[in-house]
Homo-oligomer: A and B are copies of this chain.
Amino acid sequence: MDTPPAKAFQEFYPDDVAHCYGCGRLNPEGHQLKSYWDDGETVAWFQPQPYHTAIPGYVYGGLIASLIDCHGTGTAAAVAARAEGMELTAETAPPPEAPRFVTASLQVDYLKPTPLGPRLEIRGTVKESSPRKVVVEATLSAEGTVTARGTVVAVRWKGGKQ
């Protein structure tokens, strides 16, 4: 799959937790990352802007970390929903309300500089899953070359002040 389906995981987040700068559909100034199932994996795409630079010509590492982070929590939401009998896809009616996960830890290895220009692809695989904690491994690629790998430990947001 290299074109997105109708509805992303993040579009199922409840309104009161849909403002994340990285992936919230209700944050007009944010990245609005959108993640989808693609067979057993998850996938998202992102087009960096010219100012998202590190060393000129390459993508800013903080953006790469952010994309892996939000794709990880999105993947966690989708796998936890699935375990509870809900698919976060446009075909599911009525639309489910996704569980919301936040990041407990994030690890990113920058394997090589990521060229600034091409659309980036982020892929996730679920390594560990329980109702309260999901571990997602992710890759980030540019033009088919993996330039960064990461691991996100996502924990379920319980709501309110933690």
Binding site for B on A (CB under 8 A): 16-17, 19-22, 24, 27, 29-30, 51-56, 60-63, 65-67, 69-70, 100, 102-110, 112-113, 157, 161-162
With a cutoff of 8 Å between Cβ atoms, the chain B residues found around residue A105 in the complex are: 107-110
Copies of this chain assembled into the complex: 2
Complex contact A102–B55 (CB within 8 A): yes
Complex contact A162–B112 (CB within 8 A): yes
- A62's nearest neighbour on chain B, judged by CB, is B66
A-B pairs with beta carbons under 8 Å apart, 26 shown: A16-B56, A17-B56, A19-B53, A19-B55, A19-B56, A20-B53, A20-B54, A20-B55, A20-B60, A21-B52, A30-B51, A55-B157, A60-B66, A61-B66, A61-B69, A61-B102, A61-B106, A62-B62, A65-B65, A65-B69, A65-B108, A102-B110, A104-B109, A106-B108, A107-B108, A112-B162
